[in-house]
Structure 1
Amino acid sequence: MRYSKGNGVTSEDKASITPNIALALTQVLSENGIAPARMLARFGLAVSDLEDPSFRLSHRQTGGMIAHAISLLPALPLGLLVGGKQTVSSLGMVGFAMMTSATFGEAIAHCLKYHKEGGTMVDIDFTATEQECTAVFSNPGDSAITAFLVEEVTAHLMNIGQAMLGTRALLQRMEFQYPAPPYAAHYRQLFNCPMQFSAPRNCIVVDASLFAVPLATHNPLAQRQALEHLQRMAMRDPDTPDLIESIESAFRRNWASPPNMAEIAGSLNLTERTLRRHLDQCGMSFQQIRAQMQERRARNLLETRQLTQSEIAEQLGFTDVRSFRRAFKAWTGETPGDYRSNHSASNYQ
């Protein structure tokens, strides 16, 4: 793990990527006889983390998973398979905003604006004329996985276009900067259009008339709700280090008996001393992370569940309810009972 002294974490280590690609990758691995849990364990993660709506990965983590998967299955069109697993609904709220758009062009505009919130790892540059529209894809990260990322995004967009427009004849042509892979026939079968490898850029070109096609799923109110949610997502703090996300995920998997620092260090293939040094560089301590996780979980349980304080204390790994009450009062300035009275979900029904 790379952390820069004095500047916190590097951009590669910021946990800002919705794990859609990683989740689809685990499905492809499983279908080809490889246990996803073993790959994820290399990064201190589990499949349940990828299914958590609030969980985010870093470029370093996601790129490492992709590179490892390529090494395990080098003969497969891995990016095409992963992209083929995904539909418009795989983009979550981004996909919902697209489906509720008035036209296909409006849907693509929302996709271009919020595609990073949907988990896309490439940069997209879009241009349009009266005749055709062009999307150019570039990978600002590890060039070794560029082909995978281009395969993934183009196969995913192909699925989206087919679902929304009900036609397979979407693309006028495609260009790829990299040489034709051994499985180039899969490209031709999937995309069904002229294509050029070893080209100056990675791009797809479509007929501009497709962007005026109306969508039967248009709903202006639902779209407005989706866009407001996406705006809030876009303002999410992107500076959380992936190391802290990994530690938090370990706590989420076992609230009642949370792992200690040595156990988490071992799961991350680090020594306890090295883990402590990385946390110092992030401006955090192990105890702070654990306390923040316990506080967030305690607030949630008090607001939404009818558990006794003793039951909550047990769920959070406290030895007794008095220790929990003291900790909660230190975190919030309120007793657990007062907090529940003031913030219970039933108050807002």
Structure 2
Amino acid sequence: MLYANRMGITMDHRQINNLWVNGLLQTFSALGLDVAALCRGIKSIEQGRLAPGQQVDLVEARTLWHRAVATSDFSNLGVEVGLRLSPRSTGLLFPLLLHSPSIRTAVELLVRYQMLISQNGLFRVNDISSSNSLLCTYVPARSSVAVHPQHSLSVITAALKTLGSISSRRIRASLCLPAGLDAEGISALLQYPVQAAGELYILELACEGMDEPIAGRDEHLYQLTLGYAEGLLRAQNAGQGFLDQIKHHMDGEQLVQTDIDTVAAAVGVTRRTLQRHLDDQGTSFRKLKESLLKERVLELLVARHLPIAHIAEALGYADVSTFHRAFKAWFGVTPRQFKSQIGS
């Protein structure tokens, strides 16, 4: 059944992610990066800002980060960005955590609602080590473009900064990060112990009085923001379920040839109804098809290392030159240049 937000749901979950991306772009600019060059090919970003109601997909977000790291002079760009991001970038999440009943509850809410902000990954509470500590893992989402560690570090750093603010700096942390990262440099920036070993992002959070009330909290404001956040999460999940349903009907061989009338018939609605529901999710058939094409192209190019001619044929492009033009319109570079920028 198609999802629609015309049944009394007025909340727009896209706005939270929009705030985060625009905060990220502003921070890149403040750090001296050429935002216009970073955003080349991302049509929803104009003049260094993400248009209202628009989102970047995971492929675009990760491409943005790979380009940023490649052109930045900062060895730990993710930490630098996370420390500078404004609390406003988290939308309603900051006031929700600020007025939570306790630090422990705030961490649990951060885990639950993180996906409203960023689709890059999610936090999981692994274990309760003691009454005053929590063990968490940050798990990057799977995608045709591999996550850059600095991307994940930006999210983790921003989360630590937020938790530090609401706990009046009482919270302590120690991190175990993937091998190869600059543990000493990251530790110096965060002022927390850091190890770089293994493959995971593990955070141990400790705070005396983990379950004590947060000073100055407002229970009424907490309940209002909690209800709002839950509504946003439901809207996001329902919207994503609808989009996944449509992408399922779009996907397959000769994806380039798939048209809206065929998909509308497959889900049992008219073309106009399908487009209206897509509009409710801040997208269109063309945008969704383009997003799916990019996922498939990068899966075949970067993950499976297939030749360009095979990719073009499999997806239904008329010829290799047509595929090259489409790819350059998306990413601003040729497939060969993109692969050298991103890696596998």
Shift of 1:293: 6.5
Partner of 2:329: none
For 2:167, give the aligned amino acid: L
Partners of 2:259 and 2:38 lie apart in 1 by 22
Partner of 1:339: none
Partners of 2:140 and 2:41 lie apart in 1 by 24
SS at match of 1:141: coil
Partners of 1:104 and 1:87 lie apart in 2 by 20
Partners of 2:120 and 2:234 lie apart in 1 by 18
SS at match of 2:123: strand
Partners of 1:213 and 1:35 lie apart in 2 by 45
Could you give the per-residue CA deviations for residues 49-107 of structure 1, whole angstroms, max 9, x where no partner exists? 5363x333221121121122122226432211221123544221122211121222222
Partners of 1:235 and 1:290 lie apart in 2 by 20
Q: In terms of mean alpha carbon deviation, does 16-25 or 67-76 score higher?
A: 16-25
Could you give the per-residue CA deviations for residues 285-335 of structure 1, whole angstroms, max 9, x where no partner exists? 8998699969x9xxxxxxxxxxxxxxxxxxxxxxxxxxxxxxxxxxxxxxx
Partner of 2:130: 130
SS at match of 1:206: strand
**Cα 1:60/1:16, change in 2 over 3 Å:** farther
Partner of 1:268: none
Structure 1 contact 79–148 (Cα < 8 Å) conserved: yes
**Cα 1:282/1:28, change in 2 over 3 Å:** farther
Q: TM-score, normalised by structure 2?
A: 0.60
SS at match of 2:134: strand
Partners of 1:47 and 1:216 lie apart in 2 by 41
**Cα 1:277/1:81, change in 2 over 3 Å:** farther
Partners of 1:278 and 1:210 lie apart in 2 by 58
For 2:154, give the aligned amino acid: E
Shift of 1:134: 0.7
Structure 2 contact 122–139 (Cα < 8 Å) conserved: yes
Partners of 1:48 and 1:278 lie apart in 2 by 32
Partners of 1:287 and 1:91 lie apart in 2 by 33
Partner of 1:160: 162
Partners of 1:190 and 1:281 lie apart in 2 by 53
The question of 1:180 aligning with 2:181 is answered yes
Identity of aligned residues (%): 12
1:158-237 mapped onto 2 (5 Å cutoff): 158-167=160-169, 170-171=172-173, 173-181=174-182, 184-207=183-206, 209-236=208-235, 237=239
Partners of 1:62 and 1:281 lie apart in 2 by 30
Partners of 1:35 and 1:193 lie apart in 2 by 31
Partners of 1:276 and 1:49 lie apart in 2 by 32
Instruction: Give the aligned length.
Output: 248
SS at match of 2:163: helix
Partner of 2:150: 148
For 1:149, give the aligned amino acid: H
**Cα 1:75/1:216, change in 2 over 3 Å:** closer
Partner of 2:46: 46
Could you give the per-residue CA deviations for residues 110-137 of structure 1, whole angstroms, max 9, x where no partner exists? 1111111132622212121325311111
Shift of 1:17: 8.0
Structure 1 contact 16–239 (Cα < 8 Å) conserved: no
Which blocks of at least 5 consecutive residues in structure 1 are unaligned?
A: 1-14, 243-273, 297-349
**Cα 1:49/1:232, change in 2 over 3 Å:** farther
SS at match of 1:34: coil
Partners of 1:96 and 1:141 lie apart in 2 by 30
**Cα 1:186/1:168, change in 2 over 3 Å:** farther
Which blocks of at least 5 consecutive residues in structure 2 are unaligned?
A: 1-13, 245-254, 265-269, 283-344
Structure 1 contact 129–208 (Cα < 8 Å) conserved: no
**Cα 1:82/1:229, change in 2 over 3 Å:** same
Partners of 1:186 and 1:279 lie apart in 2 by 51
**Cα 1:65/1:112, change in 2 over 3 Å:** same
